[in-house]
């Protein structure tokens, strides 16, 4: 990174803000690469997500919140695979006008999530860009050999399950953004704050990962919308499903939003940014997953059942068929 206005250069920035977050596999961020050491009998799980200002977050969002979300969405992917986080690499493209105070706040947010998840920084790159702030994180996790939970394992007769509550992230985007719809004003300040926090600060369900590994037949995280992501899981498994939309869990804040504007129910089901776990399991394994969810402080709702009709998903609301023109967030 080139110097501008006497700001520190790349290596000084790394030493000052990012080296303190680094784990032993990062070699102090003084080398050209990291060295991962998976335990005997374990396999690596790798996931990556890129975030661009104006597309995945608002350019004026707090720096710490941007960092927290960037890492959390990757940790959510690891959790859905039943993996334990081992480390991550960060690529950060800073736009013109960045400040060291902004970078310090970003690093603090990153460190908070990395510390909570025991997932240290092990490498990456920092560059300048003439475009918007852009960052990409690649996270590494590990699972016992052969135990990663795939999307493709759902079987006819399995239950369709989801953790936590759905719709908070998509509603929170509207409640937090600059162009707030009219319904936002009808919510209490507490509801608006709750929804905005769920959008800004996803909560990866890492405490549920081992239970998925032991008891789920298929799993993925809900990032692009429950309806669209369920379609991806079912397509990978070559099965269908029957889903009761009335059983989809909503937070009190989301329910209040839907009461303010009933059309928001569809946004909750399709909007994305939930980062909950969508999984399938046999009826025999269901009680174990419920117990694990309770131990992790999570709700776990059964919203339907897997069928043998590949590519066919039947949604019902109040006992009547329901269809969707678009099921998820579109990246392009």
CB atoms within 10 A of CB 139: 27
Question: What is the b/e burial string over 46-75, where b = at least 16 CB atoms within 10 angstroms of the residue's CB?
Answer: ebebebbbeebbeeebebbbbbbbbbbbbb
The kind and range of the H/E element at 286 are helix 286-295
Instruction: Tell how strand 121-129 and strand 84-95 pair up.
Output: parallel
| 30 in a labelled binding site | no
| 331 in a labelled binding site | no
| 56 in a labelled binding site | yes
| 168 in a labelled binding site | no
| 151 in a labelled binding site | yes
3-state secondary structure of 305: strand
| 191 in a labelled binding site | no
| 201 in a labelled binding site | no
| 221 in a labelled binding site | yes
d(CA 288, CA 214): 9
Strand partners, 242: 305, 314
CB atoms within 10 A of CB 290: 19
Whose CA is closest to 45, among 179, 168, 220, 170? 220
Residues 6+ away with beta carbon under 8 Å from 95: 53, 128, 129, 130, 131, 132, 133
| 124 in a labelled binding site | yes
| 49 in a labelled binding site | yes
DSSP character at residue 65 = H
| 24 in a labelled binding site | no
Q: Which residues are annotated as a binding site for ATP?
A: 124-125, 151, 223
Known binding residues for Mg(2+): 32, 47, 49, 77, 125, 221, 224
Q: Which residues are annotated as a binding site?
A: 32, 47, 49, 56, 77, 124-125, 151, 221, 223-224, 273, 329
């Amino acid at each position: 990174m080139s110097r501008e206005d006497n700001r520190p250069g790349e290596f000084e920035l790394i030493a000052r803000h990012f080296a303190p977050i680094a784990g032993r596999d990062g070699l102090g961020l003084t080398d050209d690469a990291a060295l991962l050491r998976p335990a005997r009998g374990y396999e690596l799980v790798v996931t990556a997500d890129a975030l661009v200002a104006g597309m995945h977050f608002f350019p004026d969002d707090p720096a710490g919140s941007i960092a927290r979300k960037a890492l959390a969405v990757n940790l959510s992917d690891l959790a859905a695979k039943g993996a334990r986080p081992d480390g991550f690499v960060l690529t950060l493209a800073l736009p013109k006008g960045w400040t060291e105070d902004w970078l310090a706040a970003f690093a603090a947010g990153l460190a908070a999530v990395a510390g909570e998840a025991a997932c240290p920084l092990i490498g990456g790159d920092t560059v300048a860009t003439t475009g918007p702030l852009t960052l990409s994180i690649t996270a590494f996790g590990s699972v016992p050999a052969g135990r990663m939970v795939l999307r493709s394992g759902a079987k006819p007769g399995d239950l369709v399950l989801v953790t936590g509550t759905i719709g908070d992230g998509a509603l929170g985007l509207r409640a937090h953004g600059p162009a707030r719809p009219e319904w936002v004003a009808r919510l209490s300040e507490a509801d608006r704050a709750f929804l905005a926090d769920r959008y800004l600060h996803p909560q990866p369900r890492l405490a549920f990962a081992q239970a998925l590994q032991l008891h789920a037949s298929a799993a993925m995280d809900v990032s692009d919308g429950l309806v669209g992501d369920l379609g991806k899981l079912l397509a990978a498994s070559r099965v269908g499903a029957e889903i009761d939309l009335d059983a989809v869990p909503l937070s009190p804040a989301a329910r209040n939003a839907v009461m303010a504007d009933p059309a928001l129910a569809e946004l909750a089901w399709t909007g994305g940014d939930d980062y909950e776990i969508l999984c399938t399991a046999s009826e025999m394994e269901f009680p174990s997953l419920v117990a694990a969810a309770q131990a992790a402080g999570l709700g776990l709702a059964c919203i339907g059942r897997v069928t043998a009709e590949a590519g066919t998903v039947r949604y019902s609301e109040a006992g009547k068929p329901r269809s969707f023109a678009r099921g998820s967030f579109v990246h392009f």
